[in-house]
Amino acid sequence: MGFWEKVKKDIQKGFKDGFYFMKGGVLSVKKRTKQLTKEGQKKFELYELHSKVQKEMTELGGRIYELSAKKKNPMLDHKVKAISAKIEKFEAKIAKLEGKVKKVSKKVPKKITQKHNTKAKSKQ
């Protein structure tokens, strides 16, 4: 076998090896791209949900402020309850997307008495 034949054979072998290596790399890149796309979609969906929660909390705060002068307990208002329910749903969706299991508590917060408020202020 002459020198040129040997070089030609080595080039063909190198080309084949390179092709298989490149093909494997392309498949790996394709797989990783799909993973990153899914992660990006998940992060965007989380961002949207967090924005919705922020909007609802702003609305909730405004509603409670409005009712605070009119009612003793603004948490009994039907609009406040509806907004709270929306927020809980968004929180559950966020937890699911983040891979966490969050149990939603239906407990009503205890009333804070005047004594507790003065103790908390004096500690600060």
Domain count, the chain: 1
Model-level pTM greater than 0.85? no
104 domain residue, yes or no: no
81 domain residue, yes or no: yes
Question: What does the pLDDT read at residue 108?
Answer: 47
19 domain residue, yes or no: no
- Of the candidates 26, 50, 49, 46, which has an alpha carbon nearest to the alpha carbon of residue 38? 46
CA angle (95, 56, 71) in 5-degree steps: 120
Which range of residues forms the domain containing residue 84? 39-99
**CB within 8 Å of 9: residues ≥ 6 apart:** 1
Question: What does the pLDDT read at residue 86?
Answer: 92
Say whether 69 sits in a helix, a strand or coil: coil
30 domain residue, yes or no: no
Question: What does the pLDDT read at residue 96?
Answer: 87
Question: What does the pLDDT read at residue 100?
Answer: 59
Say whether 105 sits in a helix, a strand or coil: coil
64 domain residue, yes or no: yes
Averaged pLDDT in 10-residue chunks for the chain of 124 residues: 70 74 79 85 88 90 82 81 90 84 49 48 49
